[in-house]
Structure 1
Amino acid sequence: MARITVPFKADPPDGEAIADLAWGQREIWTAMVRQESWLPIGYARAVPPGTTVEDLAEQVSFLMSRYPTLRTTLRHEPDGRTRQVVAATGEIDVDVVDAADGEDPAQVADQVRQRYWDGEYDLIHGWPAWIAIVRHRGAPTHLVVVMSHLVLDAFGGIVMLEEIAAFTAGTPLPPTAMPPVEQVRWQSSPAGARQNAAALRHWEKMLGTVPFRRFPHRHEPRSPRHWEGQFRSPAAHLALRALAERTKVDASPLLLATFAISMARITGINPVVVQVVVNNRFRPGLARSMSPLSQTGICALDLAGRTIDDAVRLTARQAIAAYKHAYYQPSDVDDLVARLAAERGEELDLACFFNDRRIEARGREAGPPPTPEQLRAALPRSTFTWTRRRDTSFERLFVHIEDVPDTMAVTIAGDTHHISPEEMEACVRGMEAVAVRAALDPAATTEV
């Protein structure tokens, strides 16, 4: 393996800065600390035939120059704060990996991506990205870029890929959207203070009267302790289409409602309190920011004794309120939670998360709703598979909705000390059961 060094310079110049972490950065940083992971995000991307190493080095220089988060390191202050240090100029080392004759360059690129994915990164002294060029018979075939989640989120990744394509095509690009240092300035302004105060009022209202526990009892933890599984259900996808047509509610709150109903049935705890991941790109100036912007909004879903259709509509209203109040200073919410716990004399357990991370399909689908016969025929095709077991931490419960065509695709990860593997599988299968029952019977209720 060879290595080349690529210089870069901030565009526009004057890019050097030291600042507090922006709200979205602070949220993902605390998650990284809790989960003992730098939460990598990235890709191994094929490059067009005829691309040279020099072409790819120019792309890397463009990325490092354009996006401040790629040239940002962390600094831990004596008072315990973590701040960001943005460099104006510098160099980054890029690995050059040669696929041998007989090797598939795509497989080699994915192996490099996985090695970077599993690696340990120094976010204080090194850049938050690992980059490699994969060659076959001397010609580049792939560019591998793996970054810390402090650089960007999934929607920022879309912006980055679109701007790489524009740069390669020679299309002029507008100035970058609001980077974290500018976000910090707005967040410190009177407008930012008002947004933060409104969010805190919403959180306090939601948490003021709910049960403090999310899980009814503790289990003997397995070893490894933290488990992750994948559920795939074409039938639930069809059922959700029927529900969306009937209720006029989009898929994301529909999925959240099925999760909340299933969780209430499993735990017996109601309302279901869940932190919903919100990407915040609907806010002014942030739509095309290449930085982490996701934060969690809080929902307390009391769906007992309702029809599923009514539960879906209530969930949609609560979700909108959660989205509106999911932009705040995370340490202020931490202080609020600590105060409420001290007042009530018990731990306030909020480690239950729901993340719709689909990009391709998030709205209602066009076309006629499925028939009951089509729905029932799809039920035998549902699958559940345990994919990972590890001792480093997941959250207590984290449900991700994935982008899989024509399928309700759910990844569920949890701490077996708080929720057993059997309960995790029951939760996602329960989501399917709720959706199918409601699709077949408009009068179906949230009760078992």
Structure 2
Amino acid sequence: MTWGQTAIWEVLRWLPPGDASLNLLAGCEVEPGRDLDDVLAAVRALVERHDALHTLFPQDDPDGGKPVQVVVPSGDLEVAVHETGTRSPANVAAYAGARLRDAPFDVGRELPLRVAVVTRQGVPVRVILAMSHLAVDGWSLKIVCDDLRTLLSAPAALGLPAEQPLVRAAYEASERAGQRERRAFDYWAGAVRELPRVWLEDLRQGGEARQGWSEIRSRALSRAVRALAARAGVTPGMVLQAAVALLLGLYKDEDDVALRLIVSTRFKPETRRFVGAFNQNALLRLRLRHESFSGFLSHAGRAALAAYSTCEYDPVRLEELVARVTAERGIGADGYCFYNDIRFDAPAAPAGRHLSPPEYDALLDETELVEPPHDTDQKGATFFLYVHELSERAVLTLCADRRFLEPRGPADFLLDLEWLAVEALHTDAGPLRLAEALARRVRRPPG
């Protein structure tokens, strides 16, 4: 298995039996003029193109040892066909997608792909794909759908496929990859020896998690982040990532902050359109100091590059290293802060014109805060933030152990993040001034 596959396997084996929560679902519209045979031919070509879609993961060890990846050279893929009848295509697609996604994959015996086609009077209108996370990651969804659309419209325009997982596995066994892995281990070990224990310690200590969930939908946050990015000459995603780390430092009164970033690691041309499980954790370490917000963003960018350059390694060996180092410090590790930008190559909208403070106040009044219907445990996390959108609005979901953010909560953190971005835009205030302003904000009586 590759390092990315191993990382997902470690999560899958932790889930309860029969859990299908990590299955991934994607859909692709079928343009007019294509019949069912055209769609089936395109699906067949898609599966042949990407080895990850026709790979099994059998376990030689009956006690649950790590599987191997076996690329299946030939076989059959059953495709379900759902006629709309009097129902809308959207409703039929939702029903078909749920049927495909909600059953766990038997990855040792079953191909990691399920397919359905929605038809209207026999004419295909949508293709639904469900995939095992062991075979693909979130970034793969866009690549797979892009390729399927091209195969349906102009197959000759499709270039050669990217590097395949078996080729990646061979690279990871090489001395070159070993050198990269050793550099990553040195970086992580040095950071874990020095970081405040609050970024490492498991609050559960064998007990139950006390998780709370919240989701924010905010035009003000997105507009401020995009304006800060334009002013600093960096990406909006980097601004938001840095702002989350900064606010965590202010919450915990620590000037040495750590975030585990979930990174797609597609850094090279041959892996840019890699289809497979490829995600790894990068360790972003940021030190807060007396400087402007612009200065903070500058060194946050350098810290992010250091994190991205040290995030390719065997994840099992990395966790063993972290456990050894934290044990030396007397820390029961496994309580990390995660940041997962799942926009999957969706660029942020342009910054737009500069807004005045009263205009931002009006946008702040529009902010929606909801409690999403989640009940899943986030393994090894006291804080897990997902970025869904950063266009005309920001959509972020946060799951956090309530003890970690006390006396605030997940909803407070998201509102404080929105406030921090707007405040930094108006004042260019850095960590120390923002800490003082946040203290005044928290003490302010309701209303």
TM-score range with shorter-chain normalisation? Answer: 0.7 to 0.9
Choose between structure 1 and 2: higher strand proportion: 1
Compared with structure 1, are the counterparts of its residues 119 and 413 closer, same or farther at alpha carbon in structure 2 (3 Å cutoff)? farther
Structure 1 SS opposite 2:260:
strand
Structure 1 SS opposite 2:266:
coil
Tell me, yes or no, if the aligned pair for 2:27 and 2:145 is still in contact at 8 Å. Answer: no
1:46 equivalent to 2:46? Answer no
User: Shift of the alpha carbon at 1:34?
Assistant: 3.7
Q: 1:237 aligns with which of 216, 222, 233?
A: 222
Residue in 1 that maps onto 2:271: 286
Cα distance in 1 for partners of 2:44, 2:185 equals 41
What code does the residue aligned with 1:428 have? L
User: Shift of the alpha carbon at 1:435?
Assistant: 0.6
Q: Show CA shifts across 1:195-232 (max 9, x none).
A: 11111111112212112233899589999965433211
1:324 equivalent to 2:329? Answer no
Q: 1:439 aligns with which of 397, 420, 425?
A: 425
Q: Show CA shifts across 1:345-380 (max 9, x none).
A: 221235311122224554683544333332222110
User: Shift of the alpha carbon at 1:286?
Assistant: 0.5
1:72 equivalent to 2:58? Answer no
Aligned pairs for 1:56-135 (under 5 A) are 56-78=39-61, 80-101=65-86, 103-135=87-119
Tell me, yes or no, if the aligned pair for 1:106 and 1:142 is still in contact at 8 Å. Answer: no
Compared with structure 1, are the counterparts of its residues 311 and 107 closer, same or farther at alpha carbon in structure 2 (3 Å cutoff)? same
Tell me, yes or no, if the aligned pair for 2:349 and 2:392 is still in contact at 8 Å. Answer: no
Compared with structure 1, are the counterparts of its residues 205 and 190 closer, same or farther at alpha carbon in structure 2 (3 Å cutoff)? same
> Which runs of no fewer than 5 residues in structure 1 stay unpaired?
1-20
Structure 2 SS opposite 1:398:
strand
Choose between structure 1 and 2: higher helix proportion: 2
Tell me, yes or no, if the aligned pair for 2:386 and 2:396 is still in contact at 8 Å. Answer: yes
Cα distance in 2 for partners of 1:241, 1:320 equals 20
Q: Show CA shifts across 1:230-287 (max 9, x none).
A: 2111112222233223333321221112111222233334422211122211225211
Residue in 2 that maps onto 1:187: 172
User: Shift of the alpha carbon at 1:323?
Assistant: 0.9
Compared with structure 1, are the counterparts of its residues 269 and 32 closer, same or farther at alpha carbon in structure 2 (3 Å cutoff)? farther
Per mean C-alpha deviation after superposition, the further-off stretch among 366-375 and 140-149 is 366-375
Cα distance in 2 for partners of 1:200, 1:27 equals 16
User: Shift of the alpha carbon at 1:45?
Assistant: 2.7
Q: Show CA shifts across 1:39-74 (max 9, x none).
A: 122223332234322222212211221111111111
Compared with structure 1, are the counterparts of its residues 419 and 87 closer, same or farther at alpha carbon in structure 2 (3 Å cutoff)? farther
Residue in 2 that maps onto 1:9: none
Residue in 2 that maps onto 1:424: 410
Per mean C-alpha deviation after superposition, the further-off stretch among 57-66 and 217-226 is 217-226
Residue in 2 that maps onto 1:389: 374
Q: Show CA shifts across 1:115-165 (max 9, x none).
A: 333322211211112211122333322211111122223332222223223
1:410 equivalent to 2:374? Answer no
Residue in 1 that maps onto 2:258: 273
Per mean C-alpha deviation after superposition, the further-off stretch among 402-411 and 186-195 is 402-411
Cα distance in 1 for partners of 2:376, 2:220 equals 33
Structure 2 SS opposite 1:289:
coil
Per mean C-alpha deviation after superposition, the further-off stretch among 290-299 and 308-317 is 308-317
What code does the residue aligned with 2:13 have? V
What code does the residue aligned with 2:360 have? L
Per mean C-alpha deviation after superposition, the further-off stretch among 214-223 and 225-234 is 214-223
Cα distance in 1 for partners of 2:402, 2:423 equals 29
TM-score of the aligned structures, taking structure 1 as reference length: 0.86
1:309 equivalent to 2:294? Answer yes
Tell me, yes or no, if the aligned pair for 1:304 and 1:446 is still in contact at 8 Å. Answer: no
Cα distance in 1 for partners of 2:58, 2:85 equals 41
Aligned pairs for 1:147-226 (under 5 A) are 147-168=131-152, 169-171=154-156, 173-214=158-199, 218=203, 226=211
Q: 1:143 aligns with which of 127, 130, 152?
A: 127
Structure 2 SS opposite 1:62:
helix
TM-score of the aligned structures, taking structure 2 as reference length: 0.87
Structure 2 SS opposite 1:299:
strand
Per mean C-alpha deviation after superposition, the further-off stretch among 183-192 and 365-374 is 365-374
Tell me, yes or no, if the aligned pair for 1:40 and 1:117 is still in contact at 8 Å. Answer: yes
User: Shift of the alpha carbon at 1:418?
Assistant: 5.3
Cα distance in 1 for partners of 2:302, 2:29 equals 43
Structure 1 SS opposite 2:69:
strand
**Backbone CA RMSD of aligned residues:** 2.8
Structure 1 SS opposite 2:119:
strand
Per mean C-alpha deviation after superposition, the further-off stretch among 214-223 and 140-149 is 214-223
What code does the residue aligned with 1:288 have? R
> Which runs of no fewer than 5 residues in structure 2 stay unpaired?
439-447
Cα distance in 2 for partners of 1:125, 1:381 equals 50
Cα distance in 1 for partners of 2:336, 2:15 equals 12
Per mean C-alpha deviation after superposition, the further-off stretch among 232-241 and 195-204 is 232-241
Tell me, yes or no, if the aligned pair for 1:263 and 1:272 is still in contact at 8 Å. Answer: yes
Residue in 2 that maps onto 1:6: none
Cα distance in 2 for partners of 1:157, 1:301 equals 31
User: Shift of the alpha carbon at 1:25?
Assistant: 1.5
